[in-house]
Amino acid sequence: MNKFSSQDSASSFPDGPDHSTRSADLPRLELSADDVHVWLAKLDDYSADSLKLLLREDELLRAARFHFEKDRNHFVVARAWLRKLLGAYLGVSPREPGFSYAEKGKPALEDGQGSSLSFNLAHSGGMAIYAFSRHREIGVDLEFIREDLAGEKIAERFFSEREIDDLKSLPPELRKRAFFDCWTRKEAYIKARGDGLSMPLNEFDVSFVPGSDASLLRNHKEPEEVNRWMMQQVEAPEGYVAALVAEGQDWQLKNFTMDQFPK
Give mean pLDDT, residues 235-239.
Answer: 96
Which helix (H) or strand (E) segment is 243 a member of?
A: strand 240-247
- Rounded Cα distance between 143 and 127, Å, is 9
pLDDT: which is higher, 216 or 5: 216
Which runs of E-coded beta strand occur in 49-176?
99-101, 107-109, 117-124, 127-134, 138-144
Sheet holding 138-144, edge to edge: 138-144, 240-247, 229-234
Residue 2 to residues 70, 96, 212, 231, Cα–Cα distance (Å): 35, 36, 9, 8
Q: Which residues contact 6 (CB under 8 A, 6 or more apart)?
A: 252
Give mean pLDDT, residues 93-107.
Answer: 91
pLDDT for residue 255: 96
First to last CA, the chain: 33
pLDDT for residue 262: 75
Indicate the pLDDT class of residue 96, thresholds 50, 70 and 90.
very high
Beta pairing partners, 118: 133
Indicate the pLDDT class of residue 95, thresholds 50, 70 and 90.
very high
**Phi, psi angle pair for 206, to nearest 5°:** -125, 155
pLDDT for residue 111: 83
Percent of the chain with pLDDT over 70: 90
Residue 216, phi-psi category: left (phi > 0), alpha (psi -120 to 50), beta (remainder): beta
Percent of the chain with pLDDT over 90: 79
Best CA proximity match to 123, nearest among 141, 100, 136: 141
- Rounded Cα distance between 65 and 94, Å, is 23
Indicate the pLDDT class of residue 261, thresholds 50, 70 and 90.
confident
Indicate the pLDDT class of residue 21, thresholds 50, 70 and 90.
very low
pLDDT for residue 16: 42
Q: What is the pLDDT of residues 151-187, one digit of tens each?
A: 889 999 999 999 999 999 999 999 999 999 999 999 9
Indicate the pLDDT class of residue 227, thresholds 50, 70 and 90.
very high
- Rounded Cα distance between 175 and 178, Å, is 5
Q: Which residues contact 249 (CB under 8 A, 6 or more apart)?
A: 3, 227, 230
pLDDT for residue 25: 65
How far does Cα 154 stand from its chain's mean position? 22
Q: What is the pLDDT of residues 217-226, one digit of tens each?
A: 999 999 999 9
